[in-house]
Structure 1
Amino acid sequence: MIPILTPTEMAAVDSAAPEPFEVLVHRAGFAVASAALRLLGGSYGRRVVVVAGPGNNGQDGRVAAQMLRRSGVRVTVLEQSPDLKSLPSCDLVIDAGYGTGFHGTHHCFSSDSPVLAVDICSGLNGLTGEISGSVAPAVETVSFAALKPGLLFGDGPEVSGRVHVADIGLDVSAASMHLVTDSDLRGWVPKRELRAHKWSHAVWLIAGSPGMSGAAELAATAALRGGAGYLRLSTPGGTSPTMPIEAVGYPLNAESWASEVVMQAERFQVVAVGPGLGRSEGTRVQVRELVAELNRPVVLDGDALWALGLQAGQLLKQRRSPTIITPHDGEFEQLMGHRPGADRIAAARELAAATGAVVLLKGQATVVTQTGSGCLVVRSGDSRLATAGTGDVLTGLIASHLALGADPLRAAASAAQLHGRASMLGPERGLLASDIAGLLAEAWNQCEAEQPR
């Protein structure tokens, strides 16, 4: 995991550092100069313009300028100013104008040269990733000690380029937020024990409705590909499923099924509810009854979240077993009465506090959090995931990781990471949700192969 610190948290870490300020600036400047030389491909004959602001970022930029000069680079240092419109011709611009503490409207300089950002692009909100005014998009950003939320959310990923976290000796061990990486998966999702049998990792999926079988089939396939040993698929009022053929169909009465699930769920490690379930009043009643009475871990998505609505907090906080909910922005609004704000980490934490559940808030960067358990951010996928059915795949995958024995918070985060990783194995155009389900095993094998032995 890679630590993430808000601007306020980063300021506190800076203040608590035992090293003198000058030492930290020297280390930061060295990291910036090293990145610059790498981007330049050498120093001989190279020209660099450093735009330096009045704060710590400006100091880092000035130190980097001194080091680059000693390496033979021709460096011009310009003071950050609203009047700075255009820059001299150069091979690289170092944006050391403003950092994560900037407030106001930024007026960006104009340059056709590649830009290296110091900690964060000037004018980019360090907490939300919103642009205030204008920014100079960077080809690379050197972030000190930890990632900042603004690099991961909003416009941040589009304007920050490749992000490199430079260790300058600050203690970030108390960080409560982390970016998930592929290397985390192996340690988070247990392997099947040698004595395992199909019921050791069993999932009951309640999904689909008459004429809406696709969501159920996607979630079921993902659960099986993710490691579920036994998958029972029930569509209330529907016929037995035809796909995937490995799923075991089990009929449920359309109007009264919650009590039967409660009575028979003991053999299952997890019950997943919601994909394509429909939005009838009967569905609302049955989902609420199931949530209230079932003493098994549950994953709730799609229409199950609609069924809970604004009563989600009251219903879920009474549960004794783990609950994972996976809303997108519209479903978040159904549960909370308002859409998430620009600070998506705060939004996810708000929902977690209101419901007592593990919350997976879907988005460009997915946030997974639980009150008292920190926050995990996932950015393994891209816009390929913006297609119908990918959320159903994620639901089944989360259920499988939970059934394999993963901690609920990590089950959700590891599933999101693998989900995104699988999508990146598919084509940039024309990727279907069913393709992602089919690529899950390959993605997992790749992650395992990349782990140090």
Structure 2
Amino acid sequence: MLAIVTPQEMGAIDAAAPEPVDVLIDRAGAAVARAALDLLGGAYGRRVVVLAGKGNNGADGRAAAARLEARGVRCQVLDAADLPASIGPVDLVIDAAYGTGFRGTFAAPDLVAGTPVLAVDIPSGVAGLTGEASGRPLRADRTITFAALKPGLLLADGPGLAGEVEVADIGLDVSGARTHLVEPWDVGAWLPERPRSTHKWKAAVWLVAGSPGMTGAAHLAAAAAQRSGAGYVRLSVPGGGHHVDAPVEVVVVPLEAAWWDAELIDGEERFGSLAVGPGLGTGVATAAAVRATVAGTSTPVVVDGDGLRALGDGAASAVGRRTTERPDVVLTPHDGEFEALAGHPPVADRFAAARDLAATTGAVVLLKGPTTVVAHPDGRVLASNAGDARLATAGTGDVLTGLVAGLLAQGMAPLEAAASAALLHGAAGALAWRRGLVAGDLVDHLPAAFDHVAGG
């Protein structure tokens, strides 16, 4: 996993370093120079312009310029406080104007089309905490950041402006970070092995989803649970009877149209997880049944879609009445469902938003987005940026629900199960078609996504 630290945390890490600042600047400058030479494809005779502010970011840029000049690169250093309106033809621009703590608006010079840009730590004008851009930042081809990722490289405008991100080790200790970006090999290491003696009930999922005539979400979630490795998937559509749209291998067990919680809880002890919510509808009786189910079962529960709106601002109460000792409820909201739970939309610092809701509800919170943020009530946060715009289509959230449920049923801890599901979900999308992808395609590509993270 890659550590993620806020600008404030990074300041404390810098202050705690045993080496003097000039040593750290020299190391950072060396890392920037190496990245610049890689982008330049050579050194002698190349022309580079460095935009350098007065802070450490500018110092890093100046240190890089000195190293590049020693290699035969012709460097011009421009003061970030007095930049020209435009920069003529050059081989590379190094953006070291302002770092993660910048406040205000940055107007970058115009560049000749096609001029490559290397950003130092973060593109100037992008907020280190939220990723929000102000003014007219340069779009970098590559960003070299130090010691750890910064939230602004993963949120809002940041990813689109940062280009390829490289984390350079300059000897700073980030071992105390509580926020990390999950990588495929992390998921591969977390996935449980299936012993030779296993059987279908070792990883069983009960999905309560859909409503009469509206079972598409239930079908997708059930199919994803199957593809996640669940040995047995039961689908109950309240009021739907036996004849519902379900994958052929799924066992359909009816539930009453309303007040079905007692019947559900009475039979849940054989299941490794429950998934509640996709397509259920928002009736009063359904909402009451969702709350009672979350409060009354001792099985790990994933709540999504209409289930989240049913919990609303009562989520903490329902989770707090559970008899289990560890957090084992996973809430998977998008921004609108987050507002139903928290009473307000997520703040721009989405890491803080998910962490605060997890602490308030006592549940693991998976906040969906271009970078998905998964927070534990104890303050740990995992993130995945594996997905892209292909996932912005109806039903993909239902696939994610089934995937989380299937991993929970196999014994994964809720935080790791939710983060793994987010990465696998994105990986399945990346393995599918660039255009025309629908949610069902994600289900079909999940086995390949599992092979991908396992090195297959």
State the TM-score bracket (shorter-chain normalisation). over 0.9
Once the two structures are superposed, the pairs formed by residues 234-253 of structure 1 within 5 Å of their partners are 234-240=236-242, 241-253=244-256
Once the two structures are superposed, the pairs formed by residues 161-240 of structure 1 within 5 Å of their partners are 161-240=163-242
CA distance, structure 1, for counterparts of residue 437 and residue 110 of structure 2: 38
Partner of 2:263: 260
8 Å CA contact 2:292–2:318 kept in 1: the answer is: no
Say if 2:455 is the partner of 1:449.
Answer: yes
- Once the two structures are superposed, what CA deviation does each residue of 1:215-250 show, in whole Å capped at 9, x if it has no partner? 000000000000000101000100333431110010
Identity %: 57
CA distance, structure 2, for counterparts of residue 326 and residue 128 of structure 1: 21
Aligned to 1:81, the other structure's residue is in SS state: helix
Partner of 2:314: 311
Deviation at 1:88, TM superposition (A): 3.6
| Structure 1 counterpart of 2:313, one-letter code | L
Aligned residue among 270, 294, 298 for 1:295 = 298
Moved more, 31-40 or 439-448: 439-448
Aligned to 1:449, the other structure's residue is in SS state: coil
Say if 2:279 is the partner of 1:273.
Answer: no
| Structure 2 counterpart of 1:257, one-letter code | W
| Structure 1 counterpart of 2:194, one-letter code | R
Partner of 2:411: 405
- Once the two structures are superposed, what CA deviation does each residue of 1:57-103 show, in whole Å capped at 9, x if it has no partner? 11000010010001111111111125532224211000010001111
8 Å CA contact 2:207–2:276 kept in 1: the answer is: yes
Partner of 1:436: 442
8 Å CA contact 1:82–1:107 kept in 2: the answer is: no
RMSD: 1.0
Aligned to 1:424, the other structure's residue is in SS state: helix
Deviation at 1:139, TM superposition (A): 0.4
Partner of 2:64: 64
Deviation at 1:373, TM superposition (A): 4.7
Deviation at 1:320, TM superposition (A): 2.9
| Structure 2 counterpart of 1:172, one-letter code | V
8 Å CA contact 1:220–1:233 kept in 2: the answer is: yes
CA distance, structure 2, for counterparts of residue 110 and residue 81 of structure 1: 16
Aligned to 2:107, the other structure's residue is in SS state: coil
8 Å CA contact 2:218–2:246 kept in 1: the answer is: no
Once the two structures are superposed, the pairs formed by residues 362-377 of structure 1 within 5 Å of their partners are 362-377=368-383
8 Å CA contact 2:295–2:318 kept in 1: the answer is: yes
Partner of 1:334: 340
Deviation at 1:135, TM superposition (A): 0.4
- Once the two structures are superposed, what CA deviation does each residue of 1:338-369 show, in whole Å capped at 9, x if it has no partner? 10111111111111111000000001111001
8 Å CA contact 1:40–1:91 kept in 2: the answer is: yes
8 Å CA contact 1:49–1:88 kept in 2: the answer is: no
Partner of 1:387: 393
| Structure 2 counterpart of 1:122, one-letter code | S
CA distance, structure 2, for counterparts of residue 355 and residue 311 of structure 1: 9
Deviation at 1:110, TM superposition (A): 1.5
Moved more, 182-191 or 226-235: 182-191
| TM-score, structure 2 normalization | 0.97
Partner of 1:74: 74
CA distance, structure 2, for counterparts of residue 318 and residue 100 of structure 1: 42
Partner of 1:353: 359
8 Å CA contact 1:188–1:407 kept in 2: the answer is: no
Aligned length: 450
8 Å CA contact 1:327–1:361 kept in 2: the answer is: yes
Deviation at 1:47, TM superposition (A): 0.4
Say if 2:330 is the partner of 1:324.
Answer: yes
Going from structure 1 to structure 2, the CA distance change for 1:236 and 1:82 (only over 3 Å counts) comes to farther
| TM-score, structure 1 normalization | 0.98
CA distance, structure 2, for counterparts of residue 82 and residue 101 of structure 1: 19
Deviation at 1:296, TM superposition (A): 1.3
Going from structure 1 to structure 2, the CA distance change for 1:373 and 1:196 (only over 3 Å counts) comes to farther
Unpaired runs of 5+ residues, structure 1, are none
CA distance, structure 1, for counterparts of residue 61 and residue 76 of structure 2: 11
- Once the two structures are superposed, what CA deviation does each residue of 1:133-171 show, in whole Å capped at 9, x if it has no partner? 220110000000100000000100000000000011111
CA distance, structure 1, for counterparts of residue 438 and residue 209 of structure 2: 19
